[in-house]
Chain A
Amino acid sequence: MNVLELPKNFDYNEWMIIISLIATYTFAFRLPKRFPQTITILIVLFSFSLEKSTDLILEYPPYTLYYLNDSTLFELSDFFTCFLYPVFGYILLHYYDKWNIRGISNFFFILAGSIFGTLFEWITVLAHVFEYTGWKLEYSFTVYLLVISLYIVFFNFVKKFFIRANLKNINDLP
């Protein structure tokens, strides 16, 4: 057995992952730089760790409520799929910051983000990137509401501490 299984058939799901990765990363890299490197790295890591946490609980045995791509094994394409999450998180927070979302706008932003996330997941289900074995698309909508809210809380927290630490160190300069 390989450490990472290779895809059984190179079909819709693999193409979906490749096209999504190219499209989202091209889009993200073309966006004007908005955050310092520190904040970008922490956003990326937050996405990765959130994705791994949910996968460990929901995807892996004993529950296996869904699996990715061709089989319940961990494939090379599964590994690449996890790179979709940070770029979505980054683009989401880029616009959250750019549009200066405050107050009730948060509600509409989280709702819109969750609808978009659920629609995108529906497309990936059609392309057989996700195979549900107990999970339902409507559950994902609820999870997106929670996850996007967590992203915003985390981003505001990190941004606040970044500005505070940065100002302190600049003021302390001789």
Chain B
Amino acid sequence: MVFNIVLAANLIFLIFFVGVPKKLHLFEILFCSMLTVFLQGTFMAIIILNYKTIQVNPHLFYVWSFVFNRFLLYPLLITWLMDLYLSVRSLGSKITLTLIISSVMVGIEYISNWLKIIHLAPPWKVWWSYAEWLLLIFVLYLFLLWFRKILKKEMIIR
């Protein structure tokens, strides 16, 4: 049941993401999603293996629910945020969008905890989740700015 909910949520967002008009180039989408997987993969290694503050439920379907969220839902959400950044001009709007999307991701983390997909073990705190996602978004944004320069230089985007 839990896996079905997670899979449905992932597919609904994937279909939405594919359909929604985007300003990002295909290469930027690939760049953002793959870099998100790498950065959060490294972060997860530290948190799961060293600090053990996030524990994954060993049941097969829960593991796959965790994998789907980490490798599909979160990268797509962050990539969508990067796309939204291109649509808004003011810093205030960008900060608002960042707070909304990071709150959604923190919410998904806590729903996963409630659904027993993961166990957020003490001393895990809500602000750790916010710090995790805000830092990732900030680093990704800086890398994206650098990558856009290369795309412009190589005449992929203008």
Binding site for B on A (CB under 8 A): 1-5, 36-38, 41-42, 45-46, 48-49, 51-53, 55-57, 60-63, 72-74, 78-79, 82, 158, 161-162, 165-166, 169-170, 172
B41: A residues at CB distance < 8 A: 49, 51-53, 55-56
* A42–B156 alpha-carbon span in the complex (Å): 14
| CB pair A5 B50 closer than 8 Å | yes
Stretch at the interface among B15-23, B31-39, B79-87, B125-133: B31-39
Main secondary structure of the interface of A (DSSP, over half): helix
| CB pair A169 B31 closer than 8 Å | no
Stretch at the interface among B6-14, B55-63, B93-101: B55-63
| CB pair A41 B150 closer than 8 Å | yes
In the complex, the 6 A-B pairs of residues with the closest C-beta atoms, listed nearest first: A52-B41, A62-B58, A49-B37, A45-B34, A48-B38, A49-B34
Nearest-neighbor residue (CB-CB) of B49 within chain A: A74
| CB pair B156 A38 closer than 8 Å | yes
| CB pair B63 A166 closer than 8 Å | no
Quick check: is B147 within 8 A (CB to CB) of the other chain?
Answer: yes
- What's the least CB distance linking B40 to chain A, in Å? 8
Given contacts A60-B49, A62-B56, A62-B58, contact A38 B38 (CB under 8 A): no
A158: B residues at CB distance < 8 A: 27, 30
- What's the least CB distance linking A102 to chain B, in Å? 24
Add 13 more A-B contacts to A42-B34, A57-B67, A165-B157 (CB < 8 A): A1-B51, A36-B154, A38-B150, A45-B31, A46-B34, A52-B42, A57-B63, A61-B55, A61-B58, A78-B45, A166-B155, A169-B157, A169-B158
Main secondary structure of the interface of B (DSSP, over half): helix
* A1–B37 alpha-carbon span in the complex (Å): 25
Quick check: is B71 within 8 A (CB to CB) of the other chain?
Answer: yes
Given contacts A52-B37, A56-B67, A78-B45, contact A38 B26 (CB under 8 A): no
Nearest-neighbor residue (CB-CB) of A162 within chain B: B156
- What's the least CB distance linking B44 to chain A, in Å? 6
* Sample of 28 A–B contacts (CB below 8 Å): A37-B150, A37-B153, A37-B154, A38-B151, A41-B147, A42-B27, A42-B30, A42-B34, A45-B30, A45-B35, A45-B38, A48-B34, A48-B37, A49-B34, A52-B42, A53-B41, A56-B41, A56-B67, A57-B63, A62-B58, A62-B63, A73-B49, A73-B50, A74-B50, A161-B26, A165-B155, A170-B155, A172-B158
Binding site for A on B (CB under 8 A): 25-27, 30-31, 33-35, 37-38, 41-42, 44-46, 48-51, 55-58, 63, 67, 70-71, 147, 150-151, 153-158
A62: B residues at CB distance < 8 A: 56-58, 63
* A168–B42 alpha-carbon span in the complex (Å): 37
B27: A residues at CB distance < 8 A: 38, 42, 158, 161-162, 165
B37: A residues at CB distance < 8 A: 48-49, 52-53
A74: B residues at CB distance < 8 A: 45-46, 49-50
- What's the least CB distance linking B146 to chain A, in Å? 9
